[in-house]
Amino acid sequence: MKILFYDIRNFELNYLLEKIPSLLEPHFIKTPLNSSVYIDDKLLQAEALSVFVSSLLDSSVLSKFKNLKYIFLRCVGYSNVDLEYCKENNIKVYNTPNYGNSTVAEYVFCLLLALSKKLIDSKVLLQKGIVNPDEIMGDEIFSKTMGVIGAGAIGRKVINIAHGFGMQTLVYDINQVGAYNFVSLDELLSKSDFISINCPLSATSRNLINKNTISKMKKEAIIINTARGEIINTTDLFFALINRKIKGAALDVIECEEVLCNNWSKCNDNALLKSVCLKKYFFIQKLMQLPNVIITPHNAYNTKEAQERILKMTLENINSVFDINAGAKNLVLI
């Protein structure tokens, strides 16, 4: 079976070359896969694709692969795949759930502590030879309230860590499973000192954090987002921050992440930039300049341990296709 691995990093390449089944014909491509990427005719005969979240597998891309039977995602989310097209064309989609629950939850508190303790400010000022305690006075998180939006595997880890810090927790999820302190979204927004977004991107969660929902938050509230950028309306967040409606934001994900490319003329996704993303780019750049904002490049998942789990699970998914006794592993779409 010919399989194309896109978004391949050196770490992944070395791992896969050592462990990939001999019956596969793998091809490794470093760039993401999207509608603007050139694909050699020989590669279009592939029966399987493996991509990261940075690839965009819409119908215009998938329709080029006439023999495509399987998609192996090296990520949890599958919002970057046209599942309806896959269903209509009998293409099975596999993901890698739960590979980084602890990894991402730890990153939530990395961002939270860095912002609340003014860690970056302290470093920058010290590099300038400035030591002024008044400018770098932080806040305790002990006894504060952590609001967790999304009580999935990562959200539950965030709750556990918060309790370890002596924090109170409020939880909002449309599926109230588990013995957690579930409340309405409005109550969570109005009572939380920190709000961690850990829900998947969906029609109901898109732009969940907007001008209206931000208006219900405490002025001292800090938002942490390690889920998907589109859950927060970037423009509304910017104006809330400069008007001091809330205290700060720590974001590992933003809307239109492709605009973070440091040289647009060399961006693989340049042709995919939408006009709405050009508008968001202005506000993203403004957000980056605010002292009460931290933005990191979708890096919460990125630890050696989590990467190894992703690759191990991906190979398990691939092997399950050939082993009729193994059963389907992590199958999103049958």
Residues 195/147, Cβ–Cβ less than 8 Å: yes
- The Cα 4–Cα 29 span in angstroms is 7
What's the whole-number mean pLDDT along residues 74-78? 89
For residue 273, the model assigns a pLDDT of 58
pLDDT over threshold 60, residue 206:
yes
Q: What is the mean pLDDT of the chain?
A: 92
pLDDT in tens, 272-304: 556 778 788 889 999 999 999 999 999 999 999
What does the H/E/C string look like for 196-261?
EECCCCCCCCCCCECHHHHCCCCCCCEEEECCCHHHECHHHHHHHHHCCCCCEEEECCCCCHHHHC
pLDDT over threshold 50, residue 269:
no
For residue 212, the model assigns a pLDDT of 98
pLDDT category of residue 257 using cuts at 50, 70 and 90:
confident
What's the whole-number mean pLDDT along residues 135-141? 95
Burial bucket for residue 280 (CB in 10 Å: 0-12, 13-18, 19+): buried
- The Cα 241–Cα 39 span in angstroms is 44
What's the whole-number mean pLDDT along residues 42-67? 95
What's the whole-number mean pLDDT along residues 53-80? 94
For residue 324, the model assigns a pLDDT of 55
Greater confidence (252 vs 333) lies with 252
- The Cα 252–Cα 229 span in angstroms is 8
Task: Give the domains, in start order, of the chain with CATH numbers.
Answer: 2-99+304-333 (3.40.50.720), 101-295 (3.40.50.720)
What's the whole-number mean pLDDT along residues 262-271? 46
For residue 322, the model assigns a pLDDT of 81
Distance from CA of residue 314 to its chain's centroid? 18
For residue 77, the model assigns a pLDDT of 84
What's the whole-number mean pLDDT along residues 244-254? 97
What's the whole-number mean pLDDT along residues 42-66? 95
For residue 265, the model assigns a pLDDT of 41
For residue 264, the model assigns a pLDDT of 42
Greater confidence (240 vs 21) lies with 240
Determine the length of the chain: 334
pLDDT over threshold 90, residue 85:
yes
pLDDT in tens, 226-238: 999 999 999 999 9
- The Cα 276–Cα 279 span in angstroms is 5
Greater confidence (326 vs 91) lies with 91
Residues 141/116, Cβ–Cβ less than 8 Å: yes
